[in-house]
Structure 1
Amino acid sequence: MLRILFALTCFISVSLGAQNTAVGFNEKLTYTAAYNMSGILTDLAQVTMETSPVKTSKATLLRLKCTATTYSKWDNFFKIRDLYESYVNPKTLTPYLYNRDINEGGYYKNMKYTYGHKSGTVKTVMKKKNHTENKTVNIGAGTKDIIATMYYMRLMDFESMSAGTSKSFPIIFDREEFKGAITYLGKETISTTIGSKSCYKLSIGSSESGAVKGTLWLTADANKIPVYGKFKIPVGTGELKIKSATGLKNQI
């Protein structure tokens, strides 16, 4: 399931200083995740992306939460129960805290980040069963975790781009910073479960060897929600299809 989330993330470019006009406090997007098994594209899991307000003593943050769960009939084959969440500034989607808690086929891992943007560092805590490891890593300006990046892509101004425009962006994942890249391919209308949608079509890539490559379609409206994605990894291919979308910030 990490591969599926990673596929979504690699579609994004960073535009420092962009203001959030697309992501609200009570949004819920639900997807079906499919994987090519023996030549047949098979629905394996549900991916849910939700937002909610979180009040602290100093401010109200926006919680970005993503969960991935295999359908019950596949649990005996390879059970997945993954949680990813980032706590961000609701106006800029700048992350302050990040939590990743995964359980995939009996493999458990928890990773927490605390950002120090002024110092250009991230304090990390990694837990694997009975092992805990603390480490501080350096990051560049604009670097975000995988979940904050997934949402931040929706702040991009695709209307000002011409087809063929490419951009790069920094992501921190598993305590390492790397470059992702997108190429804007233009607009395309596709049929989805929530209706026919005019979309921004994006091609993805990464500087990482063996990373996900693919294509993503975002609605060409004020919300810019991902509605369909195709991805390719070293061990196969798959897709994400939207099932439902509620609580959107902008009424279309």
Structure 2
Amino acid sequence: MNRIKKIVCLLIVTCMFQVVAHAQKSPLSNGEKLVYTASYKMSGFLTDLAQVSMETSEVKTSSNKLYHFKCRASTFRKYDFFFKIRDVYESYVSTSSLLPALYKRDIQEGSYKKKMKYIYNQKKKIIKSEQIKRRRDGTDWVVNENFNFSNGAMDVISTLYNVRNLPIQNAAVGDSKVFNIIFDKEEIPITVKYAGKSTIDAGNLGKKECHKLQIITNGDFLKSATLWMTADTNKVPVKAEFTIPIGSGMLQLTNASGLAN
């Protein structure tokens, strides 16, 4: 069903934000892995539907060293008969600037399949995109297109790790920041407002003091969202709650390993 597809996509997106201040020690680590349970409110109760994982590694090219960020979203097998999701999002970014060089998206949602690739030209602010879709008869077609992007705009995954790399310890309640996220060749502005601190269950990390962030958008899909991120140098996203026109749900960290600090 479309609602579960949108839920898992939203859960990935709502993990991505924090308010920025000044540069500090990077929380990014080669070998970091974060695992979440994605839940959706059904018949008045939160039901665990899927697992979302995020992994960080380093790769070397002939001229550069890059971070490889990989996010997977999969419905639990008992729900596969209902609507099977096997999505993979990947971003390759410079280890020095954290600007993206390559983005790949491979989604398999029910009978729907789609692949997307962005190659960034950071100097000219042009993205070369390649999109592969599958027809109902099982054949594929390819759409190639170049489009411009604004300074600082990034795909979903590289945005997540860029904002994690910026501190929020100096933010005051009410401070806000606008981010532009590139999704399906469009830029989506998101306003993130700092809402203070609270103690949150952080899976195997135990109870953690976290920054609380409110996510505000004028989009048609997301009505509201709140994100909690650990108030330490790792800045691990541990929980996200959201409301959309067709319901509400939550993303909860279950396991974190390979942290930088």
Shorter-normalised TM range: over 0.9
| Contact preservation (8 Å) 1:12, 1:169 | no
> Which range is displaced more, 91-100 or 75-84?
91-100
Deviations 1:98-129 (A, max 9, x none): 00000112111111000011111111111101
Q: Structure 1 residues 99 and 48, CA, compared in 2 at 3 Å: closer, same or farther?
A: same
- Within 1, Cα distance between the matches of 2:23 and 2:220? 30
Identity of aligned residues (%): 46
The TM-score with structure 2 as length reference comes to 0.91
- Within 1, Cα distance between the matches of 2:257 and 2:15? 19
The answer to whether the aligner puts 1:89 opposite 2:94 as a matched pair is yes
Q: Structure 2 unaligned segments of length 5 or more: list them.
A: 1-7, 135-139
The equivalent of 2:192 in structure 1 is 182
The TM-score with structure 1 as length reference comes to 0.94
Q: Structure 1 unaligned segments of length 5 or more: list them.
A: none
1:101 maps to a residue whose letter is D
The answer to whether the aligner puts 1:110 opposite 2:115 as a matched pair is yes
SS at match of 2:228: strand
Deviations 1:167-187 (A, max 9, x none): 101111100112111000011
2:120 maps to a residue whose letter is Y
User: What does residue range 44-193 of structure 1 map to in structure 2 within 5 Å?
Assistant: 44-129=49-134, 130-193=140-203
SS at match of 2:169: helix
SS at match of 2:161: helix
| Contact preservation (8 Å) 2:192, 2:213 | yes
1:73 maps to a residue whose letter is K
Deviations 1:143-188 (A, max 9, x none): 1100011112212221111011111011111001121110000111
The answer to whether the aligner puts 1:8 opposite 2:8 as a matched pair is no
| Contact preservation (8 Å) 1:68, 1:81 | yes
SS at match of 2:14: helix
CA drift of 1:13 comes to 5.3
| Contact preservation (8 Å) 1:20, 1:93 | no
The answer to whether the aligner puts 1:245 opposite 2:252 as a matched pair is no
Question: How many equivalent residue pairs?
Answer: 248
